[in-house]
Structure 1
Amino acid sequence: MPAAVQFAELLAAVGIERGLIGPREVDRLWDRHLLNSAVVGERIPNGTRVIDIGSGAGLPGVPLSLARPDLDVTLLEPMARRVAWLEEVVKTLRLPATVVRGRAEEPSIKQQLAGADFVVARAVAPLDRLWGWSAPLLRHGGRLVALKGESAEVEVARDGGTVKRAGGSLPVVERCGIDVLETPTTIIVVERVGATGRAGGRGRRPGRTRKDRPQ
């Protein structure tokens, strides 16, 4: 808990100075960002390897690592200034996490990080594009856990077929933190069940979307 408080203080000060979160997010750091991210650990078994794609300000990877130090968390981020921030946070909070600079779709990153048990992502891209980036990083049976808001059901209906053709299971919408949060975290879960293929669709590249969106 002290480390979580310290992370919140860093976000409220340095995070705003560096443009990682917006000033209006300070009053809802805990419920909309930290706890919103941490409760995803409910869906992740002990001792597994997790990659946070487009980690940005460190959401959801840092709260997840704080809540679940048993996990092997990699914070994947392409932008140099955000990588510097993440490295400072990991060092300051003494997190059992690794920071890697790069994009999920880069061949070198696929080779380096392939075989993960879980990929997590928050406010990165539409589901079809996100699955196309995530699938090559997952082992067979590994899962994508995408933190989504009100768009979850719409994205599943729109992109479910594309995801299945690209080696994923039928996407499922779930809720985390029902007994903890006033507004539970909405997630989409997809399991890698087949060979990966290229998923279509539109979306930003990992790390280009601001990480201060409420979920």
Structure 2
Amino acid sequence: MLIPENEFSALFEKGKMTITPGQYAYFCEYAKMLVDWNEKINLTAITDPEGIALKHFYDSVYPFTLCEVPKGAKVIDVGTGAGFPSCPLKIMRDDISLTLLDSLNKRIKFLQELSQSCGLSAECIHSRAEDGGHNAALRESFDIACARAVAPMYVLCEYCLPFVKVGGAFTALKGSSGAEELGEAKEAIKRLGGKTEQVTEYTLPNGDGRTLIVVRKVSETPAKYPRAKAKIVK
């Protein structure tokens, strides 16, 4: 279900990351579960071993080597889907405390089994982002909120920044058009209490373009946010 250990380690070494045998074993289990569950529910269009290694695992972990992830950070992955990017990050950084939030209960069941099988100790929450952002137990209580390929940047900001405590960060993993999306989101970021801190463009080993955007939370998000999805889009 995954490429051989020496090839997997060599791939990660291209990003100056070191894989232990224990981490590789967890990634193998993750890949197997992803393919098996994908036959029952739609988790991913990428199911080949090379694609999983590069476009799911490497692509999830590498961006977090380009920005600060404090030791013991509380991280929430908003609209996590099959657990990307935070579950691969948790395999590499066992010190973080992880919360997974998704709107589809079938995916939450997958994530609960994944968490148990791969020792992630993640809290899995079935909720829409716009509802979770108003939950007092979750609102402004995380060091980092992250998201990958969930929605346009201006929408993502409203989904994610309400979860971040002042001083924390919203980390968005975007494609090659990330900087352009950021331009459309500047006003939303300011209104939600954020300030763009980092924009890093890079490429995967296969040449695909990516953009890492880090938005620092500098003030509390006004209570009316996040709004319903239809209002955000409008």
Task: Please give the root-mean-square deviation of Cα atoms over the aligned residues, in Å.
Answer: 2.4
1:4 to 21, 27, 44: 27
State the partner residue of 2:92: 67
Change (3 A) 1:66 1:185: farther
State the partner residue of 1:213: none
C-alpha contact 2:179 2:211 (8 A) present in aligned 1 = no
State the partner residue of 1:116: 142
C-alpha contact 2:171 2:212 (8 A) present in aligned 1 = yes
Structure 2 distance, partners of 1:107, 1:14, is 26
SS at match of 1:70: coil
Report deviation, 1:67. Answer: 0.9
List alignment gaps of at least 5 residues for structure 1.
204-215
Change (3 A) 1:135 1:119: same
State the partner residue of 1:106: 131
2:64 to 41, 45, 49: 41
Larger radius of gyration: 2
Q: TM-score, normalised by structure 1?
A: 0.83
Change (3 A) 1:107 1:119: closer
In percent, how many aligned pairs have the same letter?
Answer: 29
1:81 to 106, 119, 142: 106
Report deviation, 1:175. Answer: 4.5
SS at match of 2:194: coil
Letter in 2 for 1:66: I
Change (3 A) 1:25 1:166: farther
List alignment gaps of at least 5 residues for structure 2.
1-23
Letter in 2 for 1:9: K
Change (3 A) 1:31 1:129: same
Q: Deviations over 1:134-176 (max 9, x none)?
A: 1221110110101100220111111112211221103632247
Letter in 2 for 1:73: L
How do 1:115-194 residues align onto structure 2 when only pairs under 5 Å count? 115-170=141-196, 172-175=198-201, 181-183=205-207, 185-194=210-219
C-alpha contact 1:16 1:23 (8 A) present in aligned 2 = no
More deviation in 139-148 or 98-107?
A: 98-107
Structure 2 distance, partners of 1:108, 1:128, is 16
SS at match of 2:171: strand
Change (3 A) 1:193 1:7: same
Letter in 1 for 2:92: A
Tell me the number of residue pairs that the alignment of Structure 1 and Structure 2 aligns: 201
SS at match of 1:170: strand
Structure 2 distance, partners of 1:172, 1:23, is 29
More deviation in 6-15 or 141-150?
A: 6-15
1:19 to 23, 26, 42: 42
C-alpha contact 1:86 1:99 (8 A) present in aligned 2 = yes
C-alpha contact 2:162 2:192 (8 A) present in aligned 1 = no
Q: Does 1:202 align with 2:220?
A: no
Structure 1 distance, partners of 2:186, 2:90, is 29
Change (3 A) 1:196 1:101: same
Report deviation, 1:185. Answer: 4.6
Change (3 A) 1:108 1:190: closer
State the partner residue of 2:8: none
